[in-house]
């Protein structure tokens, strides 16, 4: 997989002008969801106006899909393919995906499959998207309740990240993205993790966030560079996600959906408990993360009556091989330990400790 170019910029219009000049194409398309269209498109208008002025008669074709992860469907994908086709897209057209993970996942997959693949740029407008989905070449859609069930590895030709867009995000959405940054902190160094824990998430000063974000994105890029197709090391990026995906689906099924990053934050606590038990992750670091999550994300309220359901959900995780449930653990900060398994009883013990740590 070719290496992705990732650009951090506060002049998103200039960055788009540069990349659309550099990437040869005939027609230009922009995909957003309707919420992003309203909040973020005005920022891109100077670029669109200038582009249309410089490309006589070639209007930038805008495609919008419904917002939220529930829209990452085959129907939305078919809509994007149809709009591309109806508006004259060719194999040499360029698609710009502007949005969070839903848009970059679906738009990347649309680009990877339309006429067997066209070029695309991701413009991440959420912290979660910037730090995870927009980068690394995973694209896809959901199938029914199954998240990311159909997809392809297809790196964007460029990823553009501007913290300017994050000003439209509320505290919960910022915290959701920050959970993936904490995951990258655990995968990198004690220093970076300490910097993340010390960052003031009540005020979200973007100038201070930017270097942390750049570092965080580079943690992911470094892993992806070594293992683009998740044969081994990339599984480290699944830290927190075996429990996390189970929590996320559990909350959806019980009618109280939570943002992805909240489920990941609780999943990180559980998987660090398991890491401490199975591979000696240091207790002081576990307690530091657990109290940070408790204070800032609050606890997910579960009882021992929910354990069977959670284990069943984990059994359906697509990261599993055969019947066993696969976990990425950490023997220390920066030292992932891959391909661990745990049975129902061990998972129950982890959930007991999680509830103690969360004070529920
Ligand atoms: N979100 C994890 C990965 O890209 O591998």
pLDDT digits (tens, 9 = 90+) for 249-301: 999 999 999 999 999 999 999 999 999 999 999 999 999 999 999 999 999 99
Q: Whose CA is nearest to atom 4 of ligand 1?
A: 136
* More confident call, 321 vs 243: 243
- Taking the CB of residue 53, how many other CB atoms lie within 10 A of it? 8
- What is the pLDDT averaged over residues 88-99? 98
CA atoms within 13 A on the CB side of 235: 18
| Spacing, Cα 247 to ligand 1 middle (Å) | 18
| Pocket test residue of 124, 136, 217 for ligand 1, highest count of atoms within 8 A of CB | 136
- What is the pLDDT averaged over residues 118-140? 97
> What pLDDT is attached to residue 322?
77
What is the torsion angle, in degrees rounded to the nearest 10, for the CA atoms of residue 229, residue 230, residue 232 and residue 235? 160
User: Ligand 1 site: residues with CB under 6 angstroms?
Assistant: 132, 136, 138, 234, 237
Q: Provide, rounded to the nearest whole percent, the portion of the chain with pLDDT above 70.
A: 100
Q: Each residue of 212-229: pLDDT tens digit? A: 999 999 999 999 999 999
- Find the DSSP H helices in the chain: 12-22, 34-54, 74-86, 101-113, 127-128, 171-187, 190-198, 206-226, 241-253, 260-279, 283-297, 307-315, 344-358
Q: How confident is the model at residue 146 (pLDDT cuts 50, 70, 90)?
A: confident
CA 145, 147, 153, 157 torsion-angle sign: positive
Q: Indicate the range of 54-58, 92-96, 256-260, 326-330 predicted with least confidence.
A: 54-58
pLDDT at 189 over 90: yes
| Spacing, Cα 134 to ligand 1 middle (Å) | 10
| Spacing, Cα 1 to ligand 1 middle (Å) | 15
> What pLDDT is attached to residue 221?
97
Cα–Cα distance for residue pair 72/150, rounded to 1 Å: 11
Q: Whose CA is nearest to atom 3 of ligand 1?
A: 237
| Spacing, Cα 171 to ligand 1 middle (Å) | 23
Cα–Cα distance for residue pair 262/245, rounded to 1 Å: 10
First-last CA distance in the chain: 45
| Spacing, Cα 45 to ligand 1 middle (Å) | 31
pTM of the full structure: 0.96
| Spacing, Cα 53 to ligand 1 middle (Å) | 39
| Pocket test residue of 1, 130, 132, 248 for ligand 1, highest count of atoms within 8 A of CB | 132
Cα–Cα distance for residue pair 233/242, rounded to 1 Å: 16
Residues 325/346, Cβ–Cβ less than 8 Å:
no
Q: Which two tokens stand for residue 150?
A: 């159909």
Q: Indicate the range of 4-18, 51-65, 149-163, 316-330 predicted with least confidence.
A: 316-330
Which ligand 1 atom sits nearest the alpha carbon of residue 138? 4
Which ligand 1 atom sits nearest the alpha carbon of residue 180? 1
pLDDT at 314 over 80: yes
pLDDT at 95 over 80: yes
């Amino acid at each position: 997989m070719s290496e992705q170019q990732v650009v951090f910029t506060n002049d998103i219009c200039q960055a788009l002008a540069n990349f659309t000049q550099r990437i040869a194409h005939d027609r230009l398309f922009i995909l957003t969801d309707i919420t992003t269209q309203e909040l973020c498109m005005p920022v891109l208008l100077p670029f669109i106006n200038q582009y249309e002025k410089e490309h006589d008669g070639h209007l930038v074709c805008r495609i919008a899909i419904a917002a939220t992860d529930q829209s990452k469907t085959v129907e939305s994908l078919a809509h994007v393919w149809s709009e591309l086709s109806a508006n004259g897209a060719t194999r040499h057209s360029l698609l710009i995906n502007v949005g969070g993970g839903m848009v970059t996942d679906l738009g990347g997959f649309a680009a990877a499959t339309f006429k067997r693949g066209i070029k695309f740029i991701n413009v991440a407008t959420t912290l979660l998207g910037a730090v995870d989905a927009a980068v690394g070449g995973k694209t896809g859609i959901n199938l029914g309740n199954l998240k990311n069930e159909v997809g392809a590895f297809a790196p964007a030709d460029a990823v553009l990240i501007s913290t300017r867009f994050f000003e439209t995000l509320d505290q919960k959405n910022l915290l959701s993205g920050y959970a993936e940054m904490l995951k990258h902190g655990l995968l990198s160094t004690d220093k970076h993790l300490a910097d993340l824990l010390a960052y003031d998430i009540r005020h979200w000063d973007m100038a201070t966030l930017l270097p942390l974000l750049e570092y965080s994105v580079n943690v992911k890029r470094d892993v992806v560079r070594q293992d683009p197709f998740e044969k081994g090391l990339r599984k480290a990026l699944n830290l927190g996600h075996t429990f996390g995906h189970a929590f996320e689906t559990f909350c959806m099924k019980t009618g109280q959906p939570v943002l992805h990053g909240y489920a990941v934050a609780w999943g990180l606590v559980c998987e660090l408990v398991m890491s401490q038990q199975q591979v000696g992750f240091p207790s002081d670091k576990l307690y530091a993360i657990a109290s940070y999550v408790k204070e800032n994300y609050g606890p997910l309220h579960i009882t021992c009556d929910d354990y069977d359901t959670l284990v069943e959900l984990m059994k359906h995780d697509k990261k599993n091989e055969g019947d066993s449930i696969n976990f990425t653990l950490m023997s220390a900060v920066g030292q992932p330990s891959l391909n661990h398994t745990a049975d129902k009883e061990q998972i129950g013990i982890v959930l007991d400790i999680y509830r103690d740590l969360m004070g529920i």
